[in-house]
A = this chain, B = another copy of it.
């Protein structure tokens, strides 16, 4: 919808048609855990604009519950099937934007009462299941952001929750110092965590049996959040090139190898600005930004997407945890002189109520002092501090430059020496050794 809207801005007269398999467009998928927990009362609240709004206000035709079954790139048509009526159509295009998104890995085949959490329908299914069946025990496969946000939602509903992660720790994308802080938070909130074992799952009667090593436990339902693959079958059928990550390969105008076809969102790989290499890192912000770039270019404008620095953040119970740039592991693979420091300091003036500790892990180049990545965890004021690091990483700034930054100070919001400055100062001392 970002692409469609941006195309409309650039071309007032173009005929713009959107084909969408699910029943919803323009929704906040990242809000689904808060819909499940009831913090967001209705699924409708997650929706930004309806198909009717797009038609009436932006003259964009939206066909929901309509599946694009084939792209015929030589004829320049998309074959579609209306999933309600079965009606087939062949829709011509001059320019096409493919935003086929991604799909959670289906790790265990067809298990009854095992859900995924990607589409609005998934959230509704889980909430309906909980309301109707009054379950007591939930298993979550995968301890990434979605799995842990769902764990919080399920705990808020009073369920017993166990999270299974095959990696040796939760939040595999974070470094150990940060993962451990989150692990303590999960434990404090009564979430059982099982790491380092590949869980197996099957139905036994009305229950789901999860086997992790020698341990077997029964659950009333499960959420499968063990990773995510780009949906590329349409792309492959159209002859679009995939990149090294398996996602669709595009240039910085979000154009595929077929010049009339652009691609954007969770189905493409994008450039990591630090390493210069393509990565598959599907997140809402990137999807929106790449959508706008694809829409602009498809409509005859000129826009460029410069890439990402893998910034992400999540609320896990009272913690905010996030990262930007490279983790220490990723930095070690990229450069042989990456260093790291870990610094913990208060989020507000020590005497001002409501603050908490923020732990910062800062990864930088021992030679130049260039900031390669940062991770943070804490209860107060973490997310937008992470953005300071995100900008620093994206612009190739050094730790000295951040140590010198004139950041704001007022007791309710920060101590004189902000956690960002403390981490930079600590790194600076390491650099001088």
Contacts and interface: CB of A to CB of B under 8 A. Distances in A.
Given A30-B410, A31-B352, 16 more contacts: A46-B351, A285-B407, A285-B408, A307-B406, A309-B406, A311-B407, A320-B412, A383-B384, A384-B388, A384-B408, A390-B406, A391-B391, A391-B405, A394-B406, A395-B395, A395-B397
B30 A409 contact: yes
Interface stretch (A173-181, A184-192, A413-421): A413-421
A86 interface: no
Contacts of A338: none
Interface of A: 28, 30-31, 34, 39-40, 45-46, 48, 145, 273, 283-286, 288, 306-315, 320, 322, 324, 349-353, 381, 383-388, 390-392, 394-395, 397, 401-402, 404-414, 416-418, 420
A284 B409 contact: yes
Contacts of A313: 408-410, 413-414
Nearest to A314: B410
A263 to B, nearest CB: 19
A351 B48 CA distance: 9
26 contacts: A28-B349, A28-B416, A31-B349, A31-B351, A34-B352, A34-B411, A39-B352, A39-B353, A40-B352, A45-B351, A283-B409, A285-B407, A288-B416, A306-B404, A308-B406, A309-B406, A313-B408, A315-B410, A383-B384, A384-B387, A384-B388, A391-B402, A391-B407, A394-B401, A394-B405, A395-B397
A420 to B, nearest CB: 7
A394 B394 CA distance: 15
B410 A350 contact: no
- Copies of this protein, total: 2
A283 B414 CA distance: 14
A8 B339 CA distance: 27
A31 B353 CA distance: 11
Nearest to A412: B315
B408 A351 contact: no
A134 B366 CA distance: 60
A31 B417 CA distance: 15
A401 B401 CA distance: 17
A397 B311 CA distance: 19
B383 A383 contact: no
A387 B388 contact: yes
A311 B409 CA distance: 8
Contacts of A31: 349, 351-352, 411
Nearest to A320: B413
A266 B347 CA distance: 24
Contacts of A381: 383-384
A107 to B, nearest CB: 25
A181 B390 CA distance: 29
Nearest to A307: B406
Query: Among the interface residues A308, A309, A385, which one has the most CB atoms of the partner chain B within 10 A?
Result: A385
Contact of A408 (B307, B353, B387): B387
A385 B391 CA distance: 11
Contacts of A312: 408-410
Nearest to A387: B407
A334 B279 CA distance: 43
A409 B349 contact: no
Contacts of A391: 388, 391-392, 397, 402, 405, 407
Nearest to A287: B416
A31 B348 CA distance: 11
A309 to B, nearest CB: 5
Contact of A288 (B284, B408, B417): B417
A394 to B, nearest CB: 6
B417 A310 contact: no
A129 B273 CA distance: 59
A388 B386 contact: no
Query: Among the interface residues A48, A145, A288, A412, which one has the most CB atoms of the partner chain B within 10 A?
Result: A412
B284 A416 contact: yes
Contacts of A406: 273, 285-286, 307-311, 324, 390, 394
